[in-house]
């Protein structure tokens, strides 16, 4: 059975303020963003609409804008325009490093489910 992992993604300074970077975590592309307020956020890297690389998108407050078609995705909830959504990962900064919790399970309608939340 798979389990949740805590992963050290490396130094915070490796991501410029207002920018994103793609990491591969357990065969999943994860977009990690360093927000202007100093915090970090992580979501699935692929836009569900046209598979755009969200790590290359523009950050607009708590949203990232897909570089291919301009749809916005909320970095806290994963909710996107038009009802599409991406998976969100818990992230935090500790001792100058970015940490992320990765689990193969997600909550969908209050139930734990294997896979992603954009079925």
CATH of residue 86's domain is 2.102.10.10
pLDDT tops 50 at residue 114: no
pTM: 0.85
Q: In whole angstroms, what is the distance from residue 64 CA to residue 54 CA?
A: 7
User: Residue 27's domain spans which residues?
Assistant: 5-114
Total domains in the fold of the chain:
1
Q: In whole angstroms, what is the distance from residue 105 CA to residue 65 CA?
A: 26
pLDDT in tens, 7-44: 999 999 999 999 999 999 988 999 999 999 999 999 99
Answer whether residue 12 is part of any domain: yes
Answer whether residue 119 is part of any domain: no
pLDDT in tens, 39-81: 999 999 999 988 899 999 999 889 999 999 899 999 999 999 8
Q: Which residue has the tokens 């998108």?
A: 57
Give phi and psi for 45, each to the nearest 5. -80, -25
């Amino acid at each position: 059975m798979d389990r949740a992992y805590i992963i050290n993604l490396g130094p915070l300074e490796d991501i410029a303020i207002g920018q994103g970077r793609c990491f591969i975590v357990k065969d999943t592309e994860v977009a990690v963003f360093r927000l202007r307020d100093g915090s970090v956020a992580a979501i699935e890297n692929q836009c569900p609409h046209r598979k755009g690389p969200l790590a290359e998108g523009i950050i607009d407050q708590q949203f990232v804008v897909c570089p291919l078609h301009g749809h916005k995705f909320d970095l806290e909830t994963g909710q996107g325009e038009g009802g599409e959504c991406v998976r969100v990962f818990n992230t935090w900064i500790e001792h100058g490093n970015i940490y992320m919790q990765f689990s193969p399970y997600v909550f969908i309608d209050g139930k734990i489910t294997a896979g992603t939340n954009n079925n």
